[in-house]
Amino acid sequence: MREGTSPLIHRLDYQQPAYWIRKVDLTFDLDPAKTLVTSKMQVERNRAVPHGPLRLHGEELNLLRVLIDGSSVSFRQEGHELVIEGAPDADFALEIRNTCCPEKNTALSGLYTSGGSFFTQCEAEGFRRITYFLDRPDVMAVYTVTLRADASRYPILLSNGNLTDSGRLDNGRHFAVWSDPFPKPSYLFAVVAGDLVAREQRVRTRAGKDHLLQVYVRRGDLEKTEHAMNSLIASMVWDEARFGLPLDLERFMVVGVSDFNMGAMENKGLNIFNTSALLASPATATDADFHRIESIVAHEYFHNWTGNRVTCRDWFQLSLKEGLTVFRDQEFSMDMAGTPSARAVCRIQDVRQLRALQFPEDSGAMAHPVRPDSYAEINNFYTTTVYEKGAEVVRMYQTLVGRKGFEAGMKLYFERHDGQAVTCDDFAAAIADANPGSPLATRLDTFKRWYSQAGTPRLTARGEHDAAARTYTLRLAQHTPATPGQGDKQPQVIPVVMGLLDRHGAALALNAAGDTETVLVLDQAEQTFVFENIDSEPVPSLLRDFSAPVVLDDGLSDAALLVLMRHDSDAFNRWEAGQRLALNRILHALRAGQPLVLSPAFIEAMRGVLNHPELDPAFKELALTLPGESYIAEQLDVVDPQAIHAAVMAAQAQLASALRDDWIAAFEAHQVQGGYTPDPASSGKRALANLALSMLVLDARSSGDAVWPGKAYQRFKDASNMTDRLGALAALVNAGAELAAPALERFHALFKDDALVIDKWFALQARAPEVDGRVFARAKALTKHPDFTLRNPNRARSLVASLCMFNPAAFHRTDAAGYVFWADQVLAMDAINPQIASRIARAMDRWSVLAEPYRSAAREAVARVAAKPDLSTDVREIVERALA
């Protein structure tokens, strides 16, 4: 058992509620200091469970009255519950009146104000901070919402569904009535009220229905919504074409808000977005921002089916909607990217992200299965495991049943469960039942271990060629390391998409039919696969397109990796081979405690990639970027962040200087002419040019040359788009160039009124490669900058999370100052916004693998936070798990 004070909620304790709420009629009298909420509910006893009291959730509310069928009833308040003992056995009408205080709501959960407007955030348990309710996803109701507010301050009044009435009231107030015909859980409820403007577009779907699409933002931001609108339309078209899923509402609204805990939220018909995930213009947003916006707009839109029409029975099933919807947005992004090469670039970026964030999570104190077994605070489980590993699990279904089979499975899933709150088991059953006899259906129970076992499986592959028999025997073995609370792991189903190459790089036939690619399905601890008619020792290309979220040890020599890097038909594995070559060098140096020296063969291979006449610039940029420090740390039993940083810096410096002439050529050859568009081809060119520029400025630093820093500064000044401007600025800042300071100053002056750009300004400085403690000192000083505040989550993340979570060498210091900074920030943040505090708290997930003196100092800092008596449940769960 885990020690600690936060009570845990267990998955296996799930019980249906004692009552259902079928209809809700909500009235809001909106006022920032005191909003009055009147809720009239149609309640029905659930005869499937024993009769008991009606227990409603409520937090931070001021209760005014409770009526059942029009008469007052007795009730009591027990912690965060309102308990009514004498509820009738028959259906009844329950009326509750309460107030809440939006302007004091700095946690940004429930009803809050931002920039003078009202917004809500209800997932996961925010609705109970608006009014008393059965705030759980299996209670689905039809909502009618009346909003009343001052007409001049809040001209726009929005809620879910369709506008059914509106008009003037006395005292300069007005009202709007919204009704949502679809029964929904309370976490999908939303309200927005304020002085907003909208970009509008009418569209007709394939099915011939007309819809009104709106993107609401603050006045002045309208020209930054074009990309979001285009992304929304593209998402609609794609979901209908790929999965036959049309928009089911006449009106679909998207709203931007500057203060928001996450990226965005899929409230029915009224998606609410962090402005960072919505607003873009060429002058203020990078290619990466454009790409991220497209995928988040799509993600929230896709939730309308995978999440809203079919929702989760309980929060342990979160990946049912999140893993599936991330998979869908990844597929969408790949289809939008178009060419095979651009698709591969998407895939590589997704995998890089998974390895940088999810793999460490899966091997740290917070390791949990895709479907967790228990939690103290559900907000702590909106994790990269539930989202990104969850998406990989969905991808494996598709790999095992094929694309058509997966589409048939989805169809069956909606046929069975439309309008229901269901579980991950229901999803698995639908995909398997639609594909009887498939390698999924025949191993379903084993496959489902992906939901119950935490940890990243280790896959070992060793091949043996028998020249006499002309066979190649591939032995695959799997093992999943222990994670907190899970000692022994069972074998999982691992689809290994693979091929064999001869040593000149030609693809070999794997069977009599002549296939050059196949899927091996591993479902035991060890299995052997034999290939016939193989004349000479082949090079195996395993786990193509990253067909399973595992760590692969294929024991390949550098020579074999070079064959794959040059010739594999699978672009993902070509990239992977290059990464492995670099990783092997870095790990070797770290383990031997020797300075890192890149081999001439590696440098020549990289030169070959950089100058390759056919490869896409976007691919080149990925191939020439070294593995990240957190991914390198994952490969080591004892982590010395400073040593890793030094090794990566050394590798980068060697790559910069050895390829100097090639970088110059690459920089010059990849200038994009004409107006800015964020398409894959031109963003790939910009990415490679920016990498080249950063290498050249870095090399200038050691060679003392002033030309390239000067060129970077000029480019920074003259840039016509943010990608080039920030790229040039980053080149200067990351190289520690003297021109970095004036450039940063100029950048701030140019964009001082654009919060999202100022976030970039903070983040760039907090993420710069550490040299002699200067980056840490600068970041710490920036907490005193007039533009810095912990109250805005984007700003807090841009500085504090950037430093503590994305800059290991600046954070992990022998004097422990980084940890002291972390503890101070977490504690300060916890008093304002526990969800954000708890995200930042996760910087210490992996303290126990650190080398000394980091380890002891880190533990002490975690203990100091844990010692605070009035910590939020959010942060308490994180620090307790870290110390367990």
Applying CB under 5 A, the residues found at the interface with Zn ion are 322, 325
Looking at beta carbons only, is 387 or 761 nearer to Zn ion?
387
Q: Give bridge partners of residue 552 from the DSSP assignment.
A: 459
The residue count for binding ligand PHE (CB under 6 A) is 13
Quick one: which of 87, 262, 474, 766 contacts ligand PHE (CB under 6 A)? 262
User: According to the binding rule CB under 6 A, does residue 192 interact with ligand PHE?
Assistant: no
From Zn ion, ligand PHE, none, which one binds at residue 59 (CB under 5 to 8 Å depending on kind)? none
Which stretch, 93-101, 257-265, 414-422, 619-627, contacts ligand PHE (CB under 6 A)? 257-265
Helix segments in 167-222, DSSP class H: none
Looking at beta carbons only, is 146 or 159 nearer to ligand PHE?
159
Sign of CA dihedral 499, 504, 509, 514: positive
Rounded Cα distance between 126 and 59, Å, is: 9
User: According to the binding rule CB under 6 A, does residue 211 interact with ligand PHE?
Assistant: no
From ligand PHE, Zn ion, none, which one binds at residue 123 (CB under 5 to 8 Å depending on kind)? ligand PHE
Looking at beta carbons only, is 68 or 124 nearer to ligand PHE?
124
The footprint of ligand PHE on residues 442-471 (CB under 6 A) is none
Looking at beta carbons only, is 323 or 369 nearer to Zn ion?
323
User: According to the binding rule CB under 6 A, does residue 196 interact with ligand PHE?
Assistant: no
The footprint of ligand PHE on residues 290-309 (CB under 6 A) is 299-300, 303
What residues have CB less than 8 Å from 239, skipping those under 6 apart? 245, 246, 301, 302, 305, 328, 332
User: According to the binding rule CB under 6 A, does residue 180 interact with ligand PHE?
Assistant: no
From ligand PHE, Zn ion, none, which one binds at residue 259 (CB under 5 to 8 Å depending on kind)? none
Rounded Cα distance between 796 and 776, Å, is: 16
Ranges of beta strands (E only) in 11-78 are: 19-29, 35-45, 54-57, 62-68, 71-72, 76-78
DSSP state of 790: S
CB 633 within 8 A of CB 360: yes
Looking at beta carbons only, is 108 or 556 nearer to ligand PHE?
108
Report the nearest approach of ligand PHE to the CB of residue 262 (Å).
4
Quick one: which of 25, 59, 123, 568 contacts ligand PHE (CB under 6 A)? 123
Sign of CA dihedral 328, 332, 335, 341: negative
Residue nearest to ligand PHE (CB): 262
User: According to the binding rule CB under 6 A, does residue 621 interact with ligand PHE?
Assistant: no
CB 201 within 8 A of CB 229: yes
User: According to the binding rule CB under 6 A, does residue 221 interact with ligand PHE?
Assistant: no
Give residue for tokens 């709420």. 21
User: How many Cβ atoms are within 10 Å of 50's Cβ, its own excluded?
Assistant: 8
Report the nearest approach of ligand PHE to the CB of residue 582 (Å).
33
Which H, E and C letters describe 179-227, residue by residue?
A: EEEEEEEHHHCCEEEECEEEEEEEEECCCCCEEEEEEEEECCCHHHCHH
Rounded Cα distance between 329 and 241, Å, is: 14
Looking at beta carbons only, is 299 or 660 nearer to ligand PHE?
299
What residues have CB less than 8 Å from 27, skipping those under 6 apart? 36, 37, 38, 39, 145, 146, 148
Alpha-carbon torsion angle 431, 434, 438, 442, nearest 10: 70
* 300 is a catalytic site residue: yes
Which stretch, 120-128, 364-372, 414-422, 873-881, contacts ligand PHE (CB under 6 A)? 120-128
User: How many Cβ atoms are within 10 Å of 199's Cβ, its own excluded?
Assistant: 18
The footprint of ligand PHE on residues 477-496 (CB under 6 A) is none
Which stretch, 71-79, 195-203, 262-270, 751-759, contacts ligand PHE (CB under 6 A)? 262-270
One DSSP character per residue, 159-175 reads: ESSEEEEEEE-STTEEE
Peptide bond between residue 737 and the one before it cis (omega within 30 degrees of 0): no
Looking at beta carbons only, is 264 or 394 nearer to ligand PHE?
264
Ranges of beta strands (E only) in 600-744 are: none
DSSP state of 800: I
Q: Compose the 373-392 pattern: x for residues touching ligand PHE by CB under 6 A, - for all others.
A: ---------x----------
Report the nearest approach of Zn ion to the CB of residue 312 (Å).
11
User: According to the binding rule CB under 6 A, does residue 265 interact with ligand PHE?
Assistant: yes
Q: Which of 125, 300, 576, 770 is catalytic?
A: 300
Peptide bond between residue 181 and the one before it cis (omega within 30 degrees of 0): no
Residue 697 DSSP SS3:
helix
Looking at beta carbons only, is 277 or 494 nearer to ligand PHE?
277
Report the nearest approach of Zn ion to the CB of residue 302 (Å).
8
Report the nearest approach of Zn ion to the CB of residue 46 (Å).
29
Report the nearest approach of ligand PHE to the CB of residue 206 (Å).
25
User: According to the binding rule CB under 6 A, does residue 278 interact with ligand PHE?
Assistant: no
Looking at beta carbons only, is 322 or 880 nearer to Zn ion?
322
DSSP state of 306: B
User: According to the binding rule CB under 6 A, does residue 259 interact with ligand PHE?
Assistant: no
Rounded Cα distance between 604 and 398, Å, is: 38
Sign of CA dihedral 712, 717, 723, 727: positive
Q: Give bridge partners of residue 425 from the DSSP assignment.
A: none
Report the nearest approach of Zn ion to the CB of residue 384 (Å).
12
From Zn ion, ligand PHE, none, which one binds at residue 319 (CB under 5 to 8 Å depending on kind)? none
Sheet holding 110-114, edge to edge: 110-114, 117-121, 191-194, 156-159
The footprint of ligand PHE on residues 637-676 (CB under 6 A) is none
Q: Which chain residues interact with ligand PHE by CB under 6 A? A: 121, 123-124, 261-262, 264-266, 299-300, 303, 322, 382
Active site residues: 300
